[in-house]
Structure 1
Amino acid sequence: MMQMPYVIATVAVLLLTALVAAGLVVVARRHREISGSNWFAAVMVTVFLWSVIYALQLSSTDPTQVLRWHTLKYVPVIALPYAWFAFTMAYSGHTRFLSRRWLVGLALVPTISLVLVLTNDVHHVFWTARTPTGEFGAPGDVNGPGFWLHAVYSYTLILVGTLSIGWSFIRARTLYRGQTAILIAATFLPWIANALHLLEWLPLSDLDPTPVALAVTGLLFVVAVHYYRFLDLVPVAWELARDVAIEDMADGAIVLDVRNRIIDLNSTATTIFGFSRADATGRPLEDVSAVCVELVETDTSTSELETFVDHEWRYYELQRSPLSTTGGRHVGHLITLHDITERKTREQRLEVQNRLLRHNLRNDLNVVLGYLELLDETLDDDDQREFLHRATNKGETLLQRSEKSRRLGKLIDRQIQLETVTLACLLDETLAICCDRFPDVELTTTLPSDLHVLADDGLTFVVLELVENAAEHTDGDCHVEISATATDDGVELRIADDGPGIPPHEQAVLASGRETPLEHSTGIGLWLVRWMVTRYGGSVRIEDNEPRGSIVVLSLNRTEPTEKTLTAPPGSDVVGGRSEQRRDADE
């Protein structure tokens, strides 16, 4: 016999549960970029369906309709543990269980259970007997092996998911402990009620209290959303960042979610930005650093920050790394801040030194050479004039080195933009400049027209430097041969001369990439060659030429031609068109 007050109260609670679940689905969809939000929406959809169908079952008086609603109710009942497990894995960062293979495998038992429910009248495996004689619209079912398979499997999924959240609670910082505590409580309430119902330990054994307990669960989720920013801040990005041990890093580190809000930061970062961890966590990144916001919102992966820390200006190199789950889902960013203050200080000192060498010294040498030229016009003594010419030659040599240092600085300081270049076309104008500048050098070339390398117009200056080096150090007639051949993994550009050759100590310096007081280079030209080719991703080696001389071999990366293939020097202010290189030759 139905007890109407209980039925009316239960239906009212069920409809309230459905309303809350529907609202949480909307909230979850608004936060769908947050990891786990879609699975949480699936959980709430099953709660909504369970509540509505059970309310219809309790409201029915026709025994046949009661059986139908009771059978249909098991669709969300079977799906709910599966969706809950997936949500807990996404929330806690164990996303390897959300791969297609795992999801398909985990869905096997629920699928079998659902088929058994819908076809039970044929085989009676899920329920061995069904009679609509129970109170509160509950049929008098006798549970069969299929039912107990579903029950054991469902409780296993719920237990594993709850343990995963429990582990997150143990590891989590204060911000997430409120969330995880509510999730644990929200998990236990309905399933304890369901277990008591299955064991028939409740006074009203025919009334399933699970949907009623789900109403309390829904209210707990509302509290989590409103007070603990559930579905707004989830710990998965923080869990991934913990794997790189940010607290033990000497560099500053900031963990962001997909909405660029601070999930966590280490003690070094709190010192840099002047925020405590509690104050910074959960705040938008723009409240802390506009430079970091620009780094995240652009395609760049590195940037620099200048800020005042501990009563002095400090410089930091910022690097952005995406945080993704094992399934490839983007969940946030990790920004690291490396202190480069000492490096910036050295660079500033070098800039001052370079200014003295490139500008001040060059101007002073021009003045000295001007006075020497005037003095040359007044001297009559041949010995004095010889001394004067030697001084003039040394001054001109110093001036040339200063100019070469200026060009080197421009080449090294500029931003390299590698592109596909046609080797023969790119060097064509450079070879003409070599002929103008060094008329006594016999220059021959073998440059196939179909060789394309990864470089920029700075390669023309590299070749010019090597030809100049051969011409300056020759002890007689000089012959330079420039050739290029394709190799298995690139292109070799060879500059061979028949002069005295590059001394062994110069070769050793270039091979090791460093100088010592006992072993150093006498100029900067070969250093320029090595630096530039290395920036192209290539390498330099020096071989002996036969019967005498040296061969400088530039190994470059080979590419295929494109529509943007560079076929002539673009006229840059460093080594651009022929007019500027002619000016270099005349200086």
Structure 2
Amino acid sequence: MLLTNFISIYLLSVTVAVVFCTVQIRAMNGSRYTLPALLLCFAVCFYILGYVMELSGNSYEELIFWNRLEYIGIPFVSALWLTTGLMYTGCFERRRKLLFVAIFLIPIITLVLRLTNDYHYLYFSSVSYTQALDGLMLVKKPGVWMTVQAIHSGLMILASLALFIYDSVKRAGEQLGSLLLISVSSASAIAGLFLSQKRPMGLPLDYMALCLPLTCMLVIVAILRYDLIETKAIARSRVFDASRDAILLMNRQNRVVDFNRSAKELFSALGISMDNRMLLTHSPEAAAFLAAMKKTEPSVVKLRVHQEDRYFNISSEQIGRRGMPGGWIKNARDVTELYQLNEELKRQAMTDELSALSNRRAFLRLGQERLAQAEGCPGFVYLLMLDLDHFKDVNDCYGHPTGDLVIKQFAGLLKAHFTSPCLIARLGGEEFAIMLAEPDDHQALELATGFLQTAERHVYDFFGDRFQVSVSMGMTRRLPGQSLESLMGRADKALYLSKERGRNRITVL
């Protein structure tokens, strides 16, 4: 009885440990070949738990019931182990249906024959019980099909071992530690089969059930210690596939080695196809994308995706071994929202909030660019400085909300009169600046005078309060090589003269 209890505790303890470790591995990994490993664990659980209950049975009927339960798992253990090996080494995909039939047909027949053994005795030729180890134990004489199942299981285990040896040799012995553990675990399983047939010491024990927990623990150690099923590699692969970035692996000849799901979707949206691992397209827009992919320096490209303008940041990272370049990892990240946010921040930094015109910072930067572009071009550059007359009186008399209304409407008058490509800015307060290009002084003055009259006629209305605000202006023409600072100083001096002479006028210097 003591030996029976010890065996039961041993089997249950190892089974709980195997279940815990297997579920943890499945949760960590999630690869396709951890699924048969998880099913293998469940098969072992049915087998072991059924045998534990059989050892503790008090009647022949109980023993038979639990023995039948064991066969939900027994026939499938070696079959699932071989399936794991085939999927791990990539051999299962080649002839999946044929392999599935070859591996699982005999175990399925075994399950059916065991559950119906009382009608044909093909699996067990006879089943009885005896008193042993202070309890009842089944005495099962093997039938024809039990021998077939035993041979099938042995072949499955040997085939699994051969697969792992082959894979280790192919990888130049990178996993010798795991191979040693797998070899010992396979030997343990084969020993269980052998002992179950020979029954040493005359005890009617199921030696396969005793050896199988050790086999499972050795396999789990190989997985956790040596990353047998490449948990890290699979985790990296899952991150690669799940990434929202379009990621491509390209060799030194810019041929595609691999790409993820996001890249495939982007190719489809852009009309990009692949021929002999080369990306091809007839779309000019997609061609710009492919050109950016070939570059090594980062770049941002604008693409039309699903009838919407999107911006992609293209980056490259070189990969290789021992200093030798082996290819490139190309990453295309959709940065549309970030790009639009940056553009909006730039716009806000360069725009006067109240008038929606360019602010002083924008005027100084863009003004420098305009002057540089005008060098050597026909025509002249003119600068107008404007100041609303008696604007302080508007604020004092009608309040600051009314003053804000004047600024907004005056900005609207400027944009309506001085059309593109004129540069219009609010420099601060009631002061404005306009840079324009005209063929001669007469046309520039005519344009400025026309606005002076428009501003003078405009009536501002704020909740029934109607009034007019005139404007003083100073205008100057840029001299060859003159800086923006000097140009603004001269136009500002002209503006000062307009105010000194009575306002509501233009002074040209």
The two structures have a TM-score, normalised by structure 1, of 0.41
The two structures have a TM-score, normalised by structure 2, of 0.47
Rg larger in structure: 2
More strand by share: 2
